[in-house]
Amino acid sequence: MPKANRLETCTTKTEAAARGKSFVTLRFTGDDLDPAEISGVLPVEPTRSHRKGEEFFAGPRAGYLRGRTGMWFLATDKLVPGDDLHDHLAFMQKLLYPEPGDDHRIAELRSLLKRTHSCAHATCFWRGDPGEEAPQIPDAFKSAIAPLGADIETDFAPAV
Amino acid sequence: MSRSSAYVLWSNPGNPPDSVARALRIDPRRFSRGLHKIKAASDLSGADRVVIYSDGTVTDAQGEPLGNLYDED
């Protein structure tokens, strides 16, 4: 292989490894949850969704699995370009509040979660580069999802 | 999903060390990303125990399959 091509290959592998160091997930879960109802409120294709007991395709290796509970799950890694956690949080916030002060989606979700005895959870993933400081979750995001009663779990780790 | 020849690489709560990723020949960051997504999509927290097999299969503590790390990118 010519030298230039070898270098190109190395660069591509390095970039691939560096890609995706941040993303955010949001999920709604409950035995009585029909994920189609969440999709009726949030205009985005979920990463995974199923009712309790329903079979779903989990991937070529995993094959078909059965939903242990009702689930609507969204991960931002395929939806938001870049590795800035704040961009991923902003995407999620914009999904919940399409315009400043427009909380109709939040109101519909609250009602749906209450009726189906379901819960909301958010997670933030970040793997830093050596010496990089872990990001902070902005108060604005915490306030934005507070009406859903969602906890925010952080999975932050610097490179060693 | 057949795990007849696969063996357990990890069976603990929390995040596995990079040696588990290396055993699977997966970049550590991609591995962490994939495991985070599998756990979250299974309504588990990071602290919950999972079992990781040498074929990439991830199950919960009761042996119920949750996904496969080679399916995650």
* pLDDT score recorded for residue A47: 97
- Residue B67 to chain A, least CA–CA distance (Å): 5
Q: What is the pLDDT along chain A (160 residues), one digit of tens a residue?
A: 343 343 333 334 444 445 679 999 999 999 999 999 999 999 999 999 999 999 999 999 999 999 999 999 999 999 999 999 999 999 999 999 999 999 999 999 999 999 999 999 999 999 998 888 999 999 999 999 999 999 999 999 976 6
Q: How many CA atoms lie within 13 A of B18 on its CB side?
A: 8
Residue of B nearest to A129 (CA): B29
Is the pLDDT reported for residue B70 higher than 50?
A: yes
Cα–Cα distance measured from residue A56 to residue A18, given in angstroms and rounded to the nearest whole number: 30
Estimate the crossing angle of helix A104-115 against helix A85-96, to 10 degrees. 80
CB of B54 within 8 Å of a chain A CB? The answer is: no
Helices (H) and strands (E) in chain A, counts: 5, 7
Nearest alpha carbon to residue A147 among A98, A99, A114: A114
A62 vs B32: CB contact, 8 Å cut-off? no
Residue A131: what pLDDT? Answer: 87
Q: In the structure encoding, which two tokens stand for residue A87, read together?
A: 């961009």
Distance CA A45, CA B62 (A): 30
Mutate to test the interface with A, among B27, B35, B36, B53 (most CBs of A within 10 A): B36
Helices (H), A19-60: 35-39
pTM of this structure: 0.89
Across the interface, whether the CB atoms of A153 and B64 are under 8 A apart is answered: no
Q: Is the CB of B42 inside 8 Å of chain A's CB atoms?
A: yes
Query: How many Cα neighbours within 13 Å face the side chain of A110?
Result: 12
Confidence grade of residue B2 (pLDDT, cut at 50, 70, 90): low
Chain A CB within 8 Å of residue B33 CB: yes
Give tens-digit pLDDT for B20-61.
Answer: 999 999 999 999 999 999 999 999 999 999 999 999 999 999
* Angstroms from A47 CA to nearest CA on chain B: 9
Q: What is the ipTM of this complex?
A: 0.91
Q: What is the pLDDT of residue A72?
A: 98
